[in-house]
Chain A
Amino acid sequence: MSNMITVHDLRKSFGSLEVLKGIDAEVKESEVVCVIGPSGSGKSTFLRCLNLLEEITSGSVEIDGEQLTDPSTDINKLRTKVGMVFQHFNLFPHMTVLDNITLGPIKVKELTKEEAEKEALPLLDKVGLSDKADVYPESLSGGQKQRVAIARALAMNPAVMLFDEPTSALDPELVGDVLEVMKSLAKEGMTMVVVTHEMGFAKEVGDRVIFMDEGVIMEEGNPIQLFDNPQNPRTQSFLSKIL
């Protein structure tokens, strides 16, 4: 299968602080890659470079055959191919759930309101929130908000979905519903990069786990191997702390 994401020698600095120190990574079509690592190791920054929420200092990122840093790339168009789900949901509080989901399709893909809503309703159904179309985000639980955020990202028909600790702001009893939705996405063949410490999810759904530390990929491999039999001492020490 072809590569959906190809990252070569990606570097990112904030001022004099180099946060990503040369990342090489590939994600194949329909692959689910989980990224783990200590706080401050650059996981979020790496993810944010994949849709240019952070400017890339050097190196190259190719998504679905398009170079992100190529000046001729239409970055707004490319971003519609890369869905992103944030730790803190970032739903638009002044819009109903349905409007949150249809805003992108209407303004970016230029669908009519009716067309956009017709596409949005099955997505809401998919995340189990058909009855919430007309409510405002403030009345939803964290888990429901995150599922709306997933539906909002899916409404753009992305080729890749990025998740940055999608369940870590949730009460434990709400985590399951969100993971279920992510699992079903994976089953449908969505290409996913997921920063998460949900070991169970990584083992069950992940095709590969990447362990990042201090801005580099220290180790990567099959989830079961990496979690149960880590090779790198840094990985071993990290896993012993979080397990």
Chain B
Amino acid sequence: MLDAILQSHYIQSLPSLMVGLGMTLFITIIGLILGFVLGAFAGLGRLSKNKWINGICSVYVEVVRGTPILAQVLFIYMVVSEQYLGFNIDKVIAAILAITINAGAYIAEIVRGAVHSIDKGQHEAGRTIGLTQNQTMRYIIWPQAIKRMIPPLGNQFIISLKDTSLFSVIAVGELLYMGRQYYNVTFAYFETLLMVCLLYLAITIPTSLILRRIERKLDV
């Protein structure tokens, strides 16, 4: 009995699926850290009074949000790297770049929304005691805004994590790709895909639960 389970594709596929999951998490986490930096700049840029900064950031956000991420990654990998750079950038780097650029646009909106939601009086109170614009942002607006960003950022984590599955088209060894590799050899479609989905859920469901708790805590 135990032997039958151990020999089943559910268990046999696991070692390579775990490697895939590791890659999925790696791309998601690095991509989101870089995406947060990019998004913070773009989000603040969209709040800027400078027409040029504001315009560039708005174009970036709208273009990324208006096109599918699959097209974006193919663009980065096939067009930019093969045709213009003349060499293939590493697939993993292309994938991280795609998450960074894609999530950066959504995070820009998260940042903008959070900063915008802070009462105007906070800014005025800061300026009134003589703080500069930058100091007001740093000590008053940003600490309050960042709390409001946590729930939507967690949500973005879940979205980006699932988006990494699209990188199987450029043969990045993430979770879904590793599953496909496995069932191509074994034809165990059901078992493999079930395990793939369970592994995604093993990350996304706890994340959701933690988020809900944080949200409840921030509300009071």
Give the interface of A toward B (CB within 8 A): 51, 53, 76-77, 79-80, 82-84, 86, 88, 90-94, 103-104, 107-108, 149, 152-153, 155-156
> Distance in Å from the Cβ of B197 to the closest Cβ of chain A?
40
> Distance in Å from the Cβ of B49 to the closest Cβ of chain A?
12
> Distance in Å from the Cβ of A99 to the closest Cβ of chain B?
10
Partner of A86, one of B121, B131, B135: B121
Are B129 and A90 touching (Cβ within 8 A)? no
- Cα–Cα distance between A103 and B139 once the two chains are bound (Å): 9
Sample of 11 further A-B pairs with CB below 8 A, known A80-B130, A153-B128:
A53-B127, A76-B130, A84-B128, A90-B121, A90-B125, A91-B125, A94-B143, A94-B147, A103-B129, A107-B131, A108-B135
Contacts A88-B121, A90-B119 hold; do A108 and B131 have CB atoms under 8 A apart? yes
Q: Which residues of B contact A82 (CB under 8 A)?
A: 128
Q: Which residues of B contact A83 (CB under 8 A)?
A: 128
B121, B122, B130, B140 pick with most chain A CB within 10 angstroms: B130
| 23 A-B pairs in the complex with CB atoms less than 8 angstroms apart | A51-B128, A53-B128, A76-B130, A77-B130, A79-B127, A79-B129, A80-B130, A84-B124, A84-B125, A86-B125, A88-B121, A90-B119, A90-B125, A92-B125, A93-B144, A94-B147, A103-B139, A104-B130, A107-B131, A108-B131, A149-B125, A153-B128, A156-B129
B88 CB within 8 Å of chain A: no
Are A108 and B144 touching (Cβ within 8 A)? no
B117 CB within 8 Å of chain A: no
- Cα–Cα distance between A149 and B126 once the two chains are bound (Å): 12
Partner of B130, one of A90, A92, A149, A156: A156
Are A107 and B124 touching (Cβ within 8 A)? no
Are B140 and A92 touching (Cβ within 8 A)? yes
Q: Which residues of A contact B130 (CB under 8 A)?
A: 76-77, 79-80, 104, 108, 156
Are B131 and A92 touching (Cβ within 8 A)? no
Query: Which residue from chain A places its CB closest to the CB of B138 in the assembled complex?
Result: A107
B137-154 interface with A by 8 A CB criterion: 139-140, 143-144, 147
Query: Which residue from chain A places its CB closest to the CB of B119 in the assembled complex?
Result: A90
- Cα–Cα distance between A152 and B124 once the two chains are bound (Å): 13
- Cα–Cα distance between A83 and B125 once the two chains are bound (Å): 10
B155 CB within 8 Å of chain A: no
Query: Which residue from chain A places its CB closest to the CB of B123 in the assembled complex?
Result: A90
> Distance in Å from the Cβ of B22 to the closest Cβ of chain A?
37
- Cα–Cα distance between A92 and B119 once the two chains are bound (Å): 10
B122, B128, B135 pick with most chain A CB within 10 angstroms: B128
B152-207 interface with A by 8 A CB criterion: none
- Cα–Cα distance between A84 and B119 once the two chains are bound (Å): 17
Partner of B124, one of A86, A94, A104: A86
Query: Which residue from chain A places its CB closest to the CB of B136 in the assembled complex?
Result: A107
> Distance in Å from the Cβ of A95 to the closest Cβ of chain B?
9
Q: Which residues of B contact A53 (CB under 8 A)?
A: 124, 127-128
B132 CB within 8 Å of chain A: yes
Q: Which residues of A contact B122 (CB under 8 A)?
A: 90, 92
Q: Which residues of B contact A103 (CB under 8 A)?
A: 129, 131, 139
> Distance in Å from the Cβ of B217 to the closest Cβ of chain A?
14
Q: Which residues of A contact B119 (CB under 8 A)?
A: 90
